[in-house]
Amino acid sequence: MKGWRISCAVPPRLCALHGHQERQKEAALTIPTLPHADSPDWTALPKVLLHEHLDGGLRPQTLLELCRARGISVPAEDATALAAWMHANADSGSLVRYLLGFSLTVAAMASAEACERVAFEAAEDARLDGCVMAEFRMAPLLLEPHGLSGEAVVEALVSGLRRSALPSGLIVCAMRTDSPDETLRAANLAARYAGKGVIAFDLAGAEHGFPPTPHAKAFARARDAGLGLTCHAGEADVGSRVLEAASIGPRRIGHGVNIMRGDSAEQTADWVAQAKALGLHFEVCPSSNVHTGAATSIATHPIGAMVEAGLSVSCSTDNRLMSGVTLSHELQALHDQLGLSLTQVGQLMRNAAIASFLPASACETALQAMQRWDEATAG
């Protein structure tokens, strides 16, 4: 493991993935803690996952096996050490180190069989963590340089998700660092599978310097196909990017934490008021935000202020492998470290169910499960 290096350069498109910025801090390996004996049973809480990248959520053992099958060098000899390496990269404060992990996972997934396996296991892991429905996302065109067509990727991912008993759907991502013609091509791909397992369209990638407006045609194409719209915004760029994204269609925002950081209290209040008037929902991923520098700690994470301001907010994991978390862990951390009440944590999950792009019947079933949990724990 010592001295390991990835032998190839990180692809330029992948270097923009997820908009992570470098932070000036020492790398630190922070392994999530387990609940205390007297804590609520976080796994038993019915949960809804809205924001999870499939290429950031592989099981460590699966990643190890897929890499070995394709002859890809890995930085560790066993799954536990590989997971620790991936998490150290995510929490290193270095964008380059962070993206080394994604160069590995994308290369490992470069077959239809691998994509199907990864999707199936992601759904099963969410189900075992207490999720009652989930949405997963990926940018299929990232696998084209590895010889796999976008259509093949989508079909394999949808097939994998359908193998699980968990109600779920796929969000197709485009990369904002690509040209508008390229993001329109991703939207056309998503539209082709609307009603066939694809439920929404997203714009991801390096945010700073790459605003959403040039990609308005891609969002219009996805909207016309009946797909839900979400957009990464206000994570690595200013809070006004949230409203800019909303102006071209999305009513869900990935992260969006900088909406609470205007240049003045008045500006922040104005941004919040506009977001509420538009009915925006924020898919917030606390641990990932800490690892990428969008927040300094869980204890000071803007999600608390967002909840207090009355915004519609949910909690997700973003990249379970990279951040070393589960949704149960994220909710526990918000309760234990940020001080959200159990009622507030439960409301995050209700918000997620209401905002989901999955069919209304699945959302209603999820809300009913939450109500039963409330009644059982209240007694």
Number of continuous H segments (helices) and E segments (strands) in the chain: 15, 8
d(CA 340, CA 332): 9
d(CA 198, CA 45): 27
Q: Which of 235, 283, 364, 375 is catalytic?
A: 235
Q: What are phi and psi of 254, to 5 degrees?
A: -75, 120
CATH of 41-378, one of 3.40.50.150, 3.40.50.460, 3.20.20.140, 3.40.50.2000: 3.20.20.140
What confidence tens digit (pLDDT) does each residue in 329-375 have? 999 999 999 999 999 999 999 999 999 999 999 999 999 999 999 88
Which pLDDT score, from 0 to 100, does residue 93 have?
Answer: 62
* Domain spans, the chain: 41-378
d(CA 50, CA 202): 12
Q: What is the DSSP track for 253-294?
A: EEE-GGGG--SSHHHHHHHHHHHHHHT-EEEE-HHHHHHHTS
Q: Tell which residue, 105, 161, 106, has the closest CA to residue 131.
A: 161
Rounded to the nearest angstrom, the gap between the alpha carbon of residue 336 and the centroid of all alpha carbons in its chain is 22
Is-catalytic flag, 155? no
d(CA 306, CA 282): 9
Mean pLDDT by 10 residues, the chain (379 residues): 34 40 32 44 96 97 96 92 90 65 93 98 98 98 96 98 98 96 98 98 91 97 98 94 98 97 97 98 96 92 97 97 96 97 96 98 96 84
Which pLDDT score, from 0 to 100, does residue 377 have?
Answer: 81
**8 Å CB contact between 168 and 123:** yes
What confidence tens digit (pLDDT) does each residue in 206-250 have? 888 999 999 999 999 999 999 999 999 999 899 999 999 999 999
> Whole-prediction pTM value?
0.89
What confidence tens digit (pLDDT) does each residue in 294-303 have? 899 999 999 9
The tokens describing 305, both together, are: 């202020």
Which pLDDT score, from 0 to 100, does residue 90 have?
Answer: 84
**8 Å CB contact between 126 and 114:** no
